[in-house]
Amino acid sequence: MTKPYPRIRQYDNDGHLDLREGLVLCFFMRRPHNEISQAVMRALDIYLNAVGPEKLGWTLEPESDDDPYEEGVETVMRPLDSAQWASVRDKIRDPISCLLQLEEHENQVGGFHVEYHGIQRTTLELPTWSQAASALSFWLPTEYLEEKGPSQVRDMAVAMARELPINSGYVSLAFNYLFRFRDVVRAVHENCFRYPGLDVHDLSDASMELGTRVRGAYWLNFYGQPLLGQLGGAEGLRQQLDSPQVSVEELGEGKVLVALGKEPTIGEVEQKGELHPYRALARVLEPFLHQQKPDWFSFSLEQLRHWERRFMT
């Protein structure tokens, strides 16, 4: 059992949980869904085998057969019984595209969550989608990390990264939420600069804009091509990140894992020493960082740039 982490929870007026701290595992692949669907299925199975399929009870589905990517399509939560699980797997096998969201609870944010945006080939070829990428994420509650330990989380993430044809990926403590309600945004703003080790993320935004760039420095960082070559390969990263707190592990097929310590950190500003590896990696990544559009997550431009460069100041 690892050390306990601070609890950050935001409830609505009816007592439903809107935001909680947790872990996020994200992987980005600038490839069409039809090329990666089998790998996505294997990554999902790795997650389910680790946490148990009973941890996911609901799936977000369109109410009709309309294209789920169309704006304004109504959605509904359906219980994940055996028929719905079969439907989920059929959806991943779709030869064109896939939009998937699996939840622990019906009406509040949970500790377990799966989300996948598998983009069709014709979309990736459009000039307006030149920085799009298929994106896959998994959540774990903080309690899972504390009970199972960071090595089990790391093993899960490495197993996924070996299966997926990633351009990049990461594992981090994070603010996990389902909707950007006003109180959710306020809670993030109140805590993110105090705890810079907690990621502020949105898979949908990242899928549309990230391309082959990266969002920042995290506890576990996965790099594939072309970024790995631009960073000087595994050996180049070892030379630039020469620290006993940093490890660079080659995963084969042009992929590496850069781990910043044995466990994730919230990065509390009063304890600056634990952030030294994050600062070192952030400086190496600076030329390849993605910049969010102004007003992302209701940050002012100054706040947003401060957040994106929080490990470089």
Q: In terms of pLDDT, which residue wins out, 253 or 49?
A: 49
Q: Where are the domains of the chain?
A: 16-308
Three-class DSSP category at 46: helix
* Reported confidence tier of residue 225, pLDDT bands at 50, 70, 90: very high
Strands in 32-190 per DSSP E: 58-62, 75-79, 98-103, 113-118, 134-141, 168-177
Confidence at residue 270, expressed as pLDDT on a 0 to 100 scale: 56
Give the Cα separation of 96 and 260 in Å (integer). 37
* Reported confidence tier of residue 69, pLDDT bands at 50, 70, 90: very low
Q: Give percent of the chain with pLDDT exceeding 90.
A: 87
Q: In terms of pLDDT, which residue wins out, 298 or 252?
A: 298
Angle at the Cα of 205 (from 43 to 167), degrees rounded to 5?
A: 45
Q: In terms of pLDDT, which residue wins out, 75 or 120?
A: 120
* Reported confidence tier of residue 252, pLDDT bands at 50, 70, 90: confident
Q: For the whole model, what pTM was predicted?
A: 0.95
263-280: average pLDDT: 82
CA nearest to 264, candidates 278, 279, 249: 278
146-170: average pLDDT: 97
101, 154, 213, 219 from 145: Cα distances, Å: 22, 10, 28, 13
Q: In terms of pLDDT, which residue wins out, 11 or 312?
A: 11
Give the Cα separation of 49 and 41 in Å (integer). 12
Q: What single-letter DSSP state applies at residue 107?
A: S
Q: Rounded to 10 degrees, what is the CA torsion of 116, 121, 123, 126?
A: 140
